[in-house]
Amino acid sequence: MTTVLQANPRQFVSTEFTKQIVRRALRYLQSGFAIHLRGPAGTGKTTLAMHLAGLLGRPMVLIYGDEDLRSSQLIGSSSGYTRKKVVDNYIHSVLKVEDDMRQSWVDSRLTLAAREGFTLIYDEFNRSRPEANNALLSTLEEKLIVLPPDSSQSEYVRVNPLFRAIFTSNPEEYAGVHPTQDALLDRMVTIDIGEADIDTEKQILVTRVGLDRIQALKLLNLIRSFRYKAEQTKTSSLRVCLIIGKICQDHEIPVSGQNADFRALCFDVLLSRYGKSAQIAEILTHLLDQLP
């Protein structure tokens, strides 16, 4: 059974940076086009997608891209059997039995969303193999989903005019990511999501974690400086800051290089992500020594 979700508006932090992206994306969606939010991990693409779906005011269906995803997991498949038995004994000496057994068709997420006019969020869709996404081509262009011959349904599903699709993806140089077909990219409007400005990230830390503004700014400056000096700029600083910030808030650890617990926390979180080389450890040690 497919679960239909509702948006949680409290997860989204509205700043001028995010408002500008939302205005553009909502404009394209309202005109009937699918949108594609593309950018590095940790830049809030999924949260933004769910916020946009909430603004559309329709239930949402969520799919996660996966190497093993098959087209049937988007469209649907036959599942189980329906059996019909008719016994005709009108004449007591004549027994006529009709036994009809058919497979039952179950819609999957794409077909459900298209049929009912829900909003589909396909998160990190380029982690799925390109051929698994072929069903999206006719869905977005011709507004039809062609069902397989064994569906026991009509040959196709017409896409509800209220159906909207939001895709997210990571850059192609990321591990586990496949190149996307040009034909699919041509059917959506792509918005490149870069790293948010520091005021937006600070507001997210304050709102979602509960850090005060001074502590949030100190943490952001530390992580941004570390990533720049360690040449680790492919990912956003926000996700790491949320992890460190929440632990600091939950356990009353001050954001200070003079605090042993904070130093240990930074080493545990950062070195596990960016490598345990002596050079990276030295960069982090130097930055913590300078953090009051």
Q: What is the pLDDT of residue 94?
A: 55
Q: Would you state the pLDDT for residue 174?
A: 72
Half-sphere exposure of 30 (CA within 13 A, CB side): 11
Residues of the chain scoring pLDDT < 50: 1
- pLDDT at residue number 147: 82
pLDDT score of 214: 95
Residue 63's DSSP bridge partners are 122
The predicted pLDDT at position 171 comes to 81
Write down the pLDDT at residue 82: 53
The 3-state secondary structure of the chain, one letter per residue: CCCCECCCHHHCCCCHHHHHHHHHHHHHHHCCCEEEEECCCCCCHHHHHHHHHHHHCCCEEEEECCCCCCHHHHHEEEEEEEEEEEEECCCCCCCEEEEEEEEEEEECHHHHHHHHCCEEEEECHHHCCHHHHCHHHHHHCCCEEECCHHHCCCCEEECCCCCEEEEEECCCCCCCCCCCCHHHHCCEEEEECCCCCHHHHHHHHHHHCCCCHHHHHHHHHHHHHHHHHCCCCCCCCHHHHHHHHHHHHHCCCCCCCCCHHHHHHHHHHHHHHHCCCHHHHHHHHHHHHHCC
Query: Does the predicted model carry a pTM greater than 0.95?
Result: no
- What is the structure's pLDDT at 98? 59
pLDDT in tens, 152-211: 566 788 999 999 999 999 887 677 788 889 999 999 999 999 888 999 999 999 999 999
pLDDT digits (tens, 9 = 90+) for 41-59: 888 899 999 999 999 999 9
Q: Which pLDDT belongs to residue 1?
A: 44
Q: What is the C-alpha to C-alpha distance for residues 119 and 76, in angstroms, rounded to an integer?
A: 17
Which residues, at least 6 apart from 228, have a Cβ–Cβ distance to it below 8 Å?
A: none
Q: Give the integer Cα–Cα distance in Å for 200 and 19.
A: 11
| pLDDT of amino acid 195 | 86
